[in-house]
Chains A and B, each alone.
Chain A
Amino acid sequence: MVWSFISRTRGRDRFDVTDWLTWGYLIFGIALMFGPVLWVAMSSFKTEAALSEYPPSFLPLAPQTAMVKGYDKPLPLYEITGGEHKGEVLAQIRRIGLNAQMVDPQNPGERINVKIGDRTPKREFAMAWGNYTKLFQRFDFMRYFWNSVFITVVATIITVIFNSMAAFALAKYKFRGRTTVFVLIIATLMIPPTINLVPIYLVVNELGLVNTPWGVIWPAVATPTGVFLLRQYMLTIPDDLLDAARMDHASEWRVYWRIVLPLAAPAIAVLVIFSVMWRWNEFLWPLIVLTRSEEFTLQLALNAFQGDLQTSWSGILAMTVLTLLPITIVFALLQKNITAGIAQSGVK
């Protein structure tokens, strides 16, 4: 009965096949959703050389070395997999062509010749913290972080206010031109801002907003998606509530701010999440508007590791983890509120 488990909530009085399927699905889900992220997090602790390696290791590993008497520098250790010394662990002095000169750390006097195919490096767990310290040396990290937070928070607040006002007007008033305005907004719902980049830049440039956070914020706040979402939700708020308030001589602003907004909270929560995600992760537009490093956002810094000819993966991965961290923490703390918020909204 594959279909039985989809029908509705079921009690846990017996553990039948549908429960097995459910749990299989959930565990598979954890692996699929978290696995890749976890893997990237682990990889961000690998050195650049270890990142190019194939097959890759899950844990960050570094070659194990040992100090051998008679040598100034620590020598890398190898496990011998073939030939007469099979099974031993030797330190390599140098490699010449196809042969390696090795030495037994216990018995440093004698040199041993080993074919390079007959040895594999011994490795141990080691975190390359350098990837992270490098970042802080190179970038004014806190400043970029602050810029990102500022743009995200301010843009989200403005988005919510402007969009909800428009949605309120479209949902709760009957006026000439309402349909026109709604269709106009809906019409642009599907047009991605990316295709208007050049004209938008010209407008922003004319307004003198280039190289200010407002150049990123203003073009982004009038989201058609937000208006659409909120309008659909506000339609479900009964008009009686509004009329009752109007009887008490409440201004329309009061009606909107004190009655409609709180009632639309679940839908607003959805918009807030959308907006935060969009602004925090935005890259292409800030790239064009912001050219001075004091205005940069984290996403710009993240991409600064991509050069013309080379990409610094260790830098990108470490930066990825750092940009992920704040959003993950906020999500973990507010997880209940966020998911419950969306769940309650029952966006209709």
Chain B
Amino acid sequence: MFQPLNSAAQLGYRTVFNLFEWPMARAQRLVGIRRVAWLFLLPNLLIFGLFTFLPIILNVFYATTGSDAILLSQRPYVGAENFSSLLSCTDYLDPNSCRRDVFWRAVYNTGWFVVLQVGFMVLFSLITALILNRDIPLKGFFRGVFFYPVLLSPVVVALIWKWILQRYGVFNAGLEGMGFASVDWLTDADWAFFWIIFVSIWAHMGFYTLILLAGLQSIPSDVYEAAEMDGASRWRVFAKITMPLLMPTMVVVLVLSLIRAVQAFDEIFVLTGGGPGSATTLILQYIYETGFASRPQLFGLAAAASILMAVVLLVLTLLQLRATRSQAEG
């Protein structure tokens, strides 16, 4: 069935190779073998510079100017005012004492969200991967089952669950049908926070499960056989063999899931709108609302918040990189 597709793909693959071989070989001779690495980096860096770095620099200009004008030429310079207003608090632990109370609530919410979401997701991915790694029939099918939600767009995921959890959703209908009182799943602050974590785990778990499964399968079976011969208990085998050998995969999973968690936005925005109040407002939503959804659009404040966020993230990434250096360097 895929025969013609396959050969077409191969043909394409070869054509692209031929197309670029001559110019790339020329270029290689031109720059010399020592600098050929830059040749390979060039396209990516070019795009990167244009659509990532340049905007970040522009953002600095936005952050230091005021008013609601979009064009930089129309914005008056205000210095660090946007930053100082974000950071002005009498007590950093009490958002109510801050000038930007919602910003600080969002900061704390994001912190909790990242810790809980990543923690539980890795845990459940691991359990699922261990189960899928057992000798069960229909393995491929079950892998597909857990992976399927990963394919859904965040907006669709949120709409689906909003539908289920709303006051008049199936979940409450089911509860009432069984004689329980219905619960305000999305209007009670604690429940709402629970559900944003649950839903984002539901949507992304499958991907990490597969990566962990791959890691499990790459552990050679003779290691286990040796352990069995020694009569090690299963728990011991898991703790002393499986986990350590799984560590490199775990690092990738942690890095990727942390990135996703920090960037969580669409799903939560559609699911709870950041509510009740600001109980599920995350930092990205704060930035988005200040800069886009509100009137007038306070681009400067949004840019300042995003720069603060970027700096914190950068520090965290570098710390993480240092901590996992051995794995990252392979």
Contacts and interface: CB of A to CB of B under 8 A. Distances in A.
Interface stretch (A102-110, A125-133, A217-225): A217-225
Interface in A123-170: 161-163, 165-166, 168-170
A252 B48 contact: no
A244 interface: no
Nearest to B136: A22
Contacts of A314: none
Interface string A193-219: 111111110111000000000000011
Interface residues of A, number: 106
Interface string A277-305: 10011011000000000000001001100
Interface string B183-225: 0000000000000000000100011001101110110010010
A342 B151 CA distance: 14
Interface residues of B, number: 115
B135 A9 contact: yes
A196 to B, nearest CB: 4
B20 A253 contact: yes
A7 B21 contact: no
A33 interface: yes
B164 interface: yes
Contact of A339 (B21, B147, B292, B329): B147
Interface string A28-60: 011011101101100100000000001110000
A190 B263 contact: yes
Interface stretch (B79-87, B97-105, B283-291): B283-291
B249 A348 contact: yes
A96 interface: no
Nearest to B302: A195
Interface stretch (B30-38, B88-96, B273-281): B30-38
B140 A339 contact: yes
A190 B62 CA distance: 21
A198 B299 contact: yes
Nearest to A55: B173
Nearest to B152: A324
Contacts of A332: 144
Nearest to A221: B47
Interface string A1-20: 10111111111100000000
Interface stretch (A61-69, A74-82, A254-262): A254-262
Contacts of A185: 48
A347 interface: yes
Contacts of B152: 37, 281, 324
B146 interface: yes
Given A181-B45, A198-B70, A37 B160 contact: yes
Given A29-B142, A187-B317, A345-B214, A200 B155 contact: no
A192 interface: yes
Nearest to A35: B164
Contacts of B323: none
B295 interface: no
Interface in B257-271: 258-259, 262-263, 265-266
B112 interface: no
A10 B329 CA distance: 34
Given A54-B168, A165-B43, A198 B291 contact: yes
Contacts of A195: 59, 284, 287-288, 302-303, 306, 309-310
A155 to B, nearest CB: 11
A196 B305 CA distance: 11
Contacts of B125: none
27 contacts: A3-B234, A7-B237, A8-B234, A9-B133, A36-B161, A162-B43, A165-B41, A169-B38, A175-B35, A178-B37, A187-B318, A189-B317, A191-B306, A195-B303, A203-B55, A218-B47, A252-B39, A252-B40, A258-B17, A328-B148, A331-B144, A331-B148, A336-B140, A339-B143, A342-B207, A347-B214, A348-B249
